[in-house]
Structure 1
Amino acid sequence: MLKTYPEVDADPGVRRQVLSENEQLMVVAFRFQKDAQGKLHNHPHVQSTYVQSGRFTFTLDGEAFEVGPGDSFVIPSEARHGCTCLEPGTLIDTFTPRRDDFL
């Protein structure tokens, strides 16, 4: 059964939409405007991030790096991370287990 989830405001200039989920896994699209930020944060979930479009500077446990279309990386559980959007784009994030706070 296919379920549709609404797009919601996540941070200023950032929209979030759950694409699919079950208790063990969740896939989420984050759509960023230029200069929008994903605030520094951490969570118990393991996260993978795939850059569908745009350019971003990420900070992961104090280390900064730039990513663009096609790049992908894993964020370990409890690692402090965030990003700044350099060119408008979309990140596809996968979380395990599911982020119940997004539902």
Structure 2
Amino acid sequence: MNTRNILASLSYFSIFFAPILIPLVLWIITNDRYVARHAKSALLSHIVPTVFLVLAIIFFMSGVFFIQNVFVGIALFVIFGLLSLILFIWNIIMGIKVLQENTSSAW
């Protein structure tokens, strides 16, 4: 197996154990453009749900004072849930795809 493919897929599979940390470290320390590109993509796909969660909490908590913000907070929680699920599945698919690129090029 090729090390660069393993590192690139690890950045996607890190959604299971260290979502933001591993892609960030790989993106910073690697000299390989292929790994850096996949690490950056994985990092963005790990950060986006976190931003939505923070926004949903802010709107939901501010709903204590303004009732219309409760509905916005609930809507953001629903969007957060769907987006998180989609990005979770996308990370798994991309991790497998990167590993398959390695095996198909070896044959």
Higher strand share: 1
Which of the two has higher C-alpha Rg?
Answer: 2
Q: Which has the higher helix share?
A: 2
When normalised by structure 2's length, the TM-score is 0.24
